[in-house]
Amino acid sequence: MTAQDGAWDGRGYEYDRGRFLEYTPDELVESFKDLKSRQLEALVALPCLFAYEGKEPMRVGKLRTIKLRGRSLFIDFELDSAIPPIPFNSIDPLRRLLDIRDWEMNRTHWAVKDEDLFGILREADLLPQGTIQPTVVAERPAPEPPQSQVNSVGAFVTAVLALTKKGKEIFYRGHSSKAKYRLEPSVFRKNSAGDYVHLDNEDRMYRELLVTNSSDFQGDVYSLDRLVRMQHYSLPTRLLDITSNPLIALYFACRSHGEKQEDGKVVPEEPGEVIVFFIDPEDIKYFDSDTASCLANLARLPRSQRDSLDYALPSIGFNKQKAVRRLLHFVKEEKPFFEARMKKEDLRSVICVKGKRSNDRISFQSGAFLLFGHDAVLDELGTPKIGVTRIGVSGKAAMLEELDRLGINERTVFPYIENSARYIAQKFSFKS
């Protein structure tokens, strides 16, 4: 799907990585998020529906090649000359069968669907007689396994100590389920159907919490301070929590454990993982960073204004856009002497930020954050500025007991009285 007129009349087109896999079911996102050679081969094997935003005719074709270019994906494609353009009015009744949702028609993106495109079009008599259906069936690639696997705290500590810093500062993040979680902030997350849950209303959520709980934010100077506090109170934000304490990350990787009952069947415990980030100290920002202010204030722009930004414009033209001028206004509220010029490459970046440790939870968890810019994507395999490796985690219940002996448990990680009470009740409960 594209908003660029005539895009499918040529041979090549470029997508921002942030638009790839939008409106894609979770299980497919997990399979294609890494984009290694086997993922690229599987994508090239799939038939494609090329569409324009709105109600323009659509074309059927295939991809020739896919190339990764920084934060972009370049596709070389070929339209099937035997299949004429399909009018929108003919496709519209089939949208549910093709898993095309309403908002998709108004959003430039690249989705992957688990549907039989040629079969659906043939049943609707939209394919010419004699059209040959592609015979290549793309096998869904399996997610990449962790680079090491541990089942005890001792083995985990050994794995951490074996990491080579090479002048980098190291941070960690724990995921209790490798299959379920990605390296994305909560406001960027999607439901099982691939739709954004909160991103459309990010600016409204920000203001609503300030309206209803204004006294809690009186001491905050920067929008970043407010986002940190909102994150602390579980509001979806564009911040992703990381920590400098590997044992804290291990606790979160183990927190959800044990077998589960689903549809009357016993589901084995999901393996967890600890993601390790390697970041150059010079690339780490602090709470008063100008770049951090620009990215944090994106949360105050309506999504329609964020999506109107044209990054193809030269710097002068880019800064004349209405949305950029409004963003500049927000930044100047907290930094009156900020130079009236935005760096467009910064607005789409992911940066590491050390915020103020304004509450006990952040202090104990040795918390820092990855702050995501507009449509920013952190590649699961890392970027030139943020190296990534993984440690797989199994035997989570036993590891939680070991962590408890080291003073890392619900009471200390979440130092509030209700959590202390829950921890104490569980510790002294009757065990058969």
Segment 160-170, tens digit of pLDDT: 999 988 899 99
Sign of the torsion formed by the C-alpha atoms of 40, 45, 50 and 53: negative
Q: Does one domain contain both 337 and 228?
A: yes
Residue 84 confidence (pLDDT): 93
pLDDT score of 145:
63
Rounded to whole angstroms, the Cα distance separating 243 from 249 reads 7
Yes or no: say if 391 and 385 are a contact pair by the CB < 8 Å rule.
no
Do 94 and 233 reside in the same domain of the chain? no
Burial of 168 (0-12, 13-18, 19+ CB in 10 A): middle
Nearest alpha-carbon partner for 167 in 282, 285, 286? 282
- Do 41 and 186 lie in a common domain? no
pLDDT value at 194 more than 80? no
**H runs (alpha helix) in 244-343:** 246-254, 290-296, 303-307, 315-319, 322-334
104 and 178 together in one domain: no
| Average pLDDT of the chain, as a whole number | 88
Sign of the alpha-carbon dihedral angle for 28, 349, 384, 174:
negative
Region 275-298: what's the mean pLDDT? 96
Evaluate whether 285 touches 368 at the Cβ level (below 8 Å).
no
Cα-based torsion angle of the residue sequence 392, 394, 399, 400 in order, rounded to the nearest 10 degrees: 100
Question: What number of other Cβ atoms are within 10 A of residue 33's Cβ?
Answer: 20
pLDDT for 134? 64
Q: Are 199 and 70 found together in one domain? A: no
Q: Read off the pLDDT of each residue in 89-109 and give the average, rounded to a whole number.
A: 88
Helices in 169-222 by DSSP H: which ranges? Answer: 202-212
Q: Are residues 117 and 153 in the same domain?
A: no
Cα(58)–Cα(88) distance, integer angstroms: 7
What pLDDT does 33 receive? 80
Domain assignment present for residue 48? The answer is yes
Instruction: Choose among 144, 124, 125, 122: nearest CA to 47.
Output: 122
In a domain, 140, yes or no: no
Residue 111 lies in a domain: yes
In this prediction, residue 44 carries a pLDDT of 92
Report yes or no on 134 lying in a domain: no
Q: Do residues 47 and 195 share a domain?
A: no
pLDDT at 29: 83
pLDDT single digits (tens) 370-410: 999 998 888 888 888 999 999 999 999 999 999 999 999 88
Looking at the structure, tell me whether residues 15 and 153 fall in a common domain.
no
Residues 206 and 325 in one domain: yes
What Rg value do the Cα atoms of the chain yield, rounded? Answer: 24
Same domain, 241 and 355: yes
Q: Indicate whether 362 belongs to any domain.
A: yes
Looking at the fold, whether 70 and 190 belong to one and the same domain comes out as no
Neighbours of 69 (CB within 10 A): 9
Number of domains in the chain: 2
Tens digit of each residue's pLDDT (9 = 90 or more) over 311-320: 889 999 999 9
Instruction: With beta carbons less than 8 A apart as the criterion, state whether 101 and 24 touch.
Output: no
* Assigned domain for 25 exists: yes
Residue 214 and residue 359 in one domain: yes
Q: Which of 16-25, 187-196, 243-252, 259-268 has the highest mean pLDDT?
A: 243-252
What is the sign, positive or negative, of the torsion defined by CA atoms of 350, 147, 40, 112?
negative
The residue to which tokens 């190296």 are assigned? 387
**Is pLDDT at 151 greater than 60 in this prediction?**
yes
- What confidence tier does 144 reach under pLDDT thresholds 50, 70, 90? low
Kind and range of the H or E run holding 285: strand 284-286
CA atoms within 13 A on the CB side of 333: 15
Backbone dihedral angles phi then psi of residue 415, each to the nearest 5 degrees:
-80, 65
Buried b or exposed e, range 171-208, using 16+ CB within 10 angstroms: bbbbbbebeebbbbbbbbebeeebebebbeebbebbee
Is residue 138 included in any domain, yes or no? no
The boundaries of the domain holding residue 114 are: 7-123
Whether 1 is in a domain gets the answer no
Does pLDDT of 146 surpass 80?
no
